[in-house]
Amino acid sequence: TYFDNRNSELQSGERELRIRKIQRKGKITMLLTYKKKPFDLKSKSKEEFEIVVTDFQNTVEIIKGMGFHSYISFKKYCDNYYFEYKRCKINVTVVRLMKLKEMFIEISTITRTSKSVKNKFKVLYSILHLLEVNKEQLTNEYYTELVKT
């Protein structure tokens, strides 16, 4: 579930506030996430901050009480694959959205400093090459926009 204020300031600034439930091996984890505006316009990569929450509905009520409203909810099914490549911890996620026919691949890593971003991108793009994903197959559209249509 994604939230914004009355003026849609988060969406217009390409920022995100969401709460989600993740189910893995029968265990449910709930996360509250804030994503800043993209620092890389090509990939739309964003710095994000995340905390575990223990009460989904109370967290939603707190967010609403602060003047936010939910503007979209959808189910996203993910298969995650974790490995190390060129000394980077990599997460490759195969994504399926119930409202869409297409499947997506997300490839990500964590960087602690802005100095290492350029090198991390090189690693991620080399993985795309190994997976035989070409540039024409890439998208930087947001799921929230894709499921609206």
In this prediction, residue 103 carries a pLDDT of: 93
In this prediction, residue 113 carries a pLDDT of: 78
How far is the C-alpha of 53 from the C-alpha of 32, rounded, in Å? 7
What is the pLDDT confidence band of residue 63, given thresholds at 50, 70 and 90? very high
Task: Calculate mean pLDDT across residues 43-63.
Answer: 96
pTM (two decimals): 0.89
Region of 67 please: left (phi>0), alpha (psi -120 to 50) or beta: left
